[in-house]
A and B are shown apart, each in its own frame.
Chain A
Amino acid sequence: MCASLLASPAQSAPRTPFDDATVIEKLPFRAGDSRARELAALRASARKAPSDAVIAAALAQAYFDTAQARSDPRFIGYADAVLSPFDPQMSVDLLVIRGMLRQYRHDFDGALGDFAAALAQDPERAGAHAWRGAIYLVMAQYDKARQECAALLDLQRPVLQGGCTGLVQAYTGQLTSAYATLQKTLALARYDEQHLWLLTRLGEVSAWLGHKARAERHYRDALALGRDDAYLLAAWADFLLDNKRPAEVVKLLAGWEASDPLLLRLAEAETLLRVPAAIAHVQALDDRFAAAKLRGDTSHRAEEARFQLRLRNNAVLAVQLAAANYQVQKEPRDLRMLLEAALAARDPDAAKPARDWLQSTGFEDALMRALAEQTLQLPPVVKKQVMAP
């Protein structure tokens, strides 16, 4: 009876395994893995010197990196717990990391506050400018983003500045210049991480420009670096899905089910291919969104909108989610989802923010422009008549 009361979306029924050898959970790392050893060593040092801000910063950064690579938010919570004892006497390093953690959770105002505090202590902290630029881009505040790019130029950080400028150009109707800027920056980059990121963005820009072959080349170059990167996998999977190549997505994302955004793309591909696994994966996503809702987490709305639209055929709910997400995140993919959902729900009004954005930025993606045009063709509808299929 207790189990049925449990506030869990999963079908839960406590059980007692028969055999001591029964495996009840798989951990992300073996104790001997290099990352596990690094984390364990840092954690041990931090335990020995709990007031050492340098060690704390190193440990928090390592957790953050792990969260990124594995697409695993538990490490964000670990990193935050490492920092919190230092509040409010936080060093620049700690402030920057806390800002990163806050933006991860979509607390953009909090993050901007941390970066501002860090820059007040150390005006030459390029990382803080770079992060602020990225946040302003997500918030569609392009003038402010440009100021951050300029600050990076002043600090003579050409790679960060190139990435910053390239994206501002891409989002504001200058895809060709954006491509050139990113390409130029790629030549300056020295680390694999930088190459991977720039190649991924080059792939996206190429796809928006309609240069499919070039986009594919950039994505494949990025993949060839052989580093786990959830964002790259998601962007490449989206490209494949847009180009009706779902079979490759299924191959690409096998084993990445733990990551919600990647599972979403995997389930989309499986649904298109009518593979039996699709049913279980769609259900798993449903459960995960329900679980997030239980803990009051709203930062997954972009994915949930896409899930409702493409896998649940619930256009009305998808529009609501996409519109709520748009209040927080205003990147091209967020606007595209709003357009797609509004179109499916036959709700031209809902698409208005996206049309306005296209108009004001001059964003050049042909696909999104066509979607926006179609939403204008919709007859004006009384909203109550719009029903979920």
Chain B
Amino acid sequence: MIEFLRRLFGQPGSSATAKERLRLVLMTDHLELAPELIDAMKRDLVDVISRYVEVDREKIDVSFERQDSALAMLANIPILSVNRPNGTTTPSEPEAAAPTPAAALAPESNGSAPPARKRRRRKKAQRAPSPAPAAAS
């Protein structure tokens, strides 16, 4: 009976799924095929962040990850020191500069110590991911 009602009122066709999957896979393809674009983006990103904190340019890692309905950019940017509000910088501990996953996950123990690693998560999708397709009448 439920199946009958579903047929009666219709359900979203597979073309909507095809469209969404294509949109995502092509974004990934285009990124893969344009490494120079990622390099340029990385440079700009670091330039902006460097206005506020000193980062380890050698150890920056930018990657892209497929999520349910969007593509996410993951940037791993080790921070060496943080600019104080008065303009001077706090030099970091040498071991804190080396990025380790544990350090990234650990909460800051005190406010003055800079986080060893900063994880930025930004949605790369130009268009907002479409909501789950509603049942068509």
Q: Do A and B come from one complex?
A: no
A binding-site residues for B, Cβ under 8 Å: none
